[in-house]
C-alpha cells in the first residue's frame, strides 16, 4: 500500500479519487501525465511511428489499444519495443502500476482500463464488437484523471473511440486526432471530427512532437470538470458492475432493437449528433457497428436455416428410399412430396446468403 506521501487527492465531481505520485509513479502536479491511444486497421504501423517520435524521458504513461483477434498472440509489445526508446511492457498483469515513460498495450480479448494509478485488465462486455475496445480505455482515463488526460485517435475503420474521446473532452482533457487525409484508414478520426472539434488534428508525423510538448505543460487551474452520471455508469459497466433499469434510463431510452451479441433489449443513447446503443448486459454499439453485428446475426440465422432444411431433405430421401425397398408406395410418395417442397426453400436461402451486404 502506498504511504501517505505517495498519495495526492484529486477532486472529481462530488467525490475524491486517489492517484499515485512520487517514486517514479504518476504525479498530477506534472499536468498531462496520462496518454491514451487508440487505433484499428493500420494501427501497428501508426503506433510504431508515434513511439519512435517520443523521447525516452517522457513524463507520462501511455496506454494503447488496437483491435485484435481474441486468438492473436501477444506480440505487439515486442514489436513496439523496437520502434522507439520508451519501455513497452511485454508482460502485463491486472493491477500493474502506471509509471511515466512506460507503455502499456492491451492484450487480446480483454479490455485495457486504468484505475487509481494502475492498469486494469477486465473481460468486460464487447464494445463496438471488439474486446479490447478503445472507448472503455478512454472513458476510464477520463473518469480517473480528468484534465490530466491526452486522448489520441489514429487510423481505423468505423467509429470506436469517438464516444471515449468525447468523455475526455467533457472532463477537460486534451483531444488529438490524426488528420483523416493522412490516415491509412480515415473512418475513426473522421467520425470523431463529425461529432466534435478536436483540440489538435494533425498528420501522424506531427503528433509525437506535439505530445512531447504537451506533457511538459501544466494543466490550467479551474479546467477540471465533474464526472457525469453517464460516464460513471458506463465506466462501471466496463468493470463488470451490474446495472439496473434506473441506470439504463439515465443512459437513454429503450428501443425496439435487440443486441446481436446476447439478444437482450437495446437502449438508445443520444450522444452528440449520433445515436449509440447499449444493452443491459453491457454490450455497446455505434450505429455502424450495430449494423455490422446485425448482418452477422442474419447470416448466422440463415446458415442455421439452410442446415436444418438440407438435413431434413436428406432424412426424407432416406425415408423414401426405405419405403421404396419395403414396397410402401403410398408412404414413399408422401416423403418424396415433402422433399420436393423443401429443396427449393433451401436453395432460395443459399442464394440469399450471397446477397447479404458486407
Residues composing the chain:
358
Name the helix (H) or strand (E) containing 203.
Answer: none
Q: Which residues contact 308 (CB under 8 A, 6 or more apart)?
A: none
Q: Which of 40, 163, 286, 289 is catalytic?
A: 40
The C-alpha cell 500500500 sits at 1
Question: What is the CB neighbour count within 10 angstroms for residue 249?
Answer: 11
Confirm whether 67 is a catalytic residue.
yes
Q: Which residues contact 215 (CB under 8 A, 6 or more apart)?
A: 30, 31, 32, 33, 35, 58, 59, 60, 150
Cα–Cα distance for residue pair 114/136, rounded to 1 Å: 9
Q: Which of 19, 28, 67, 163 is catalytic?
A: 67
The C-alpha cell 481474441 sits at 70
Residue whose C-alpha is closest to residue 155's, from 106, 205, 204 = 204
Cα–Cα distance for residue pair 281/30, rounded to 1 Å: 38
Task: Please state whether the peptide bond connecting residue 132 to the residue before it is cis, i.e. omega within 30 degrees of 0.
Answer: yes
Confirm whether 40 is a catalytic residue.
yes
Confirm whether 140 is a catalytic residue.
no
Cα–Cα distance for residue pair 132/126, rounded to 1 Å: 7
Q: Which residues contact 305 (CB under 8 A, 6 or more apart)?
A: 349
Count Cβ atoms within 10 A of the Cβ of residue 279 and give its class: 0-12 exposed, 13-18 middle, 19 or more buried: buried
The C-alpha cell 489514429 sits at 154
Alpha helices in the chain, H assignment, sequence order: 43-52, 76-81, 134-145, 162-170, 187-195, 204-214, 229-238, 245-251, 287-325, 329-353
| Residue 318 three-state SS | helix
First to last CA, the chain: 51
Whether 60 and 32 have beta carbons less than 8 Å apart is answered as yes
DSSP category for residue 228: P
Q: Which of 53, 160, 179, 187 is catalytic?
A: 160
The C-alpha cell 488528420 sits at 179
Query: Catalytic residue numbers?
Result: 40, 67, 160
Amino acid at each position: 500500500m502506498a504511504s501517505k506521501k505517495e498519495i495526492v487527492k484529486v477532486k472529481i465531481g462530488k467525490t475524491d479519487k486517489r492517484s499515485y505520485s512520487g517514486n517514479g509513479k504518476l504525479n498530477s502536479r506534472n499536468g498531462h501525465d496520462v496518454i491514451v491511444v487508440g487505433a484499428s486497421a493500420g494501427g501497428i504501423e501508426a503506433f510504431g511511428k508515434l513511439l519512435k517520435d517520443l523521447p525516452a524521458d517522457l513524463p507520462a504513461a501511455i496506454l494503447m489499444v488496437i483491435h485484435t483477434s481474441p486468438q492473436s498472440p501477444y506480440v505487439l509489445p515486442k514489436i513496439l519495443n523496437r520502434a522507439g526508446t520508451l519501455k513497452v511492457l511485454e508482460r502485463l498483469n491486472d493491477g500493474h502500476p502506471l509509471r511515466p515513460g512506460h507503455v502499456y498495450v492491451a492484450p487480446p480479448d480483454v479490455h485495457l482500463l486504468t484505475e487509481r494509478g494502475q492498469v486494469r485488465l477486465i473481460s468486460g462486455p464487447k464494445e463496438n464488437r471488439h474486446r479490447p475496445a478503445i472507448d472503455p480505455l478512454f472513458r476510464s482515463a477520463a473518469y480517473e484523471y480528468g484534465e490530466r488526460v491526452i486522448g489520441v485517435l489514429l487510423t481505423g475503420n468505423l467509429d470506436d473511440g469517438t464516444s471515449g474521446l468525447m468523455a475526455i473532452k467533457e472532463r477537460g482533457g486534451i483531444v488529438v486526432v490524426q488528420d483523416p487525409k493522412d490516415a491509412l484508414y480515415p473512418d475513426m478520426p473522421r467520425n470523431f471530427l463529425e461529432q466534435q472539434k478536436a483540440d489538435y488534428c494533425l498528420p501522424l508525423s506531427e503528433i509525437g512532437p506535439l505530445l512531447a510538448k504537451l506533457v511538459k505543460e501544466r494543466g490550467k487551474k479551474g479546467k477540471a470538470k465533474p464526472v457525469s452520471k453517464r460516464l460513471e455508469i458506463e465506466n462501471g459497466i466496463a468493470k463488470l458492475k451490474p446495472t439496473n433499469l434506473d441506470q439504463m434510463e439515465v443512459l437513454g431510452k429503450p428501443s425496439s432493437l435487440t443486441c446481436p451479441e446476447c439478444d437482450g433489449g437495446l437502449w438508445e443513447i443520444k450522444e452528440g449528433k449520433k445515436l449509440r446503443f447499449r444493452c443491459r448486459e453491457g454490450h455497446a454499439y455505434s450505429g455502424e457497428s450495430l449494423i455490422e453485428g446485425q448482418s452477422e446475426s442474419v447470416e448466422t440465422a440463415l446458415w442455421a436455416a439452410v442446415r436444418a432444411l438440407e438435413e431434413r431433405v436428406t432424412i426424407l430421401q432416406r425415408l423414401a428410399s426405405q419405403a421404396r425397398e419395403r414396397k410402401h408406395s403410398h408412404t414413399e410418395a408422401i416423403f418424396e412430396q415433402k422433399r420436393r417442397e423443401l429443396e427449393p426453400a433451401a436453395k432460395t436461402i443459399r442464394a440469399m446468403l450471397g446477397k447479404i451486404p458486407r
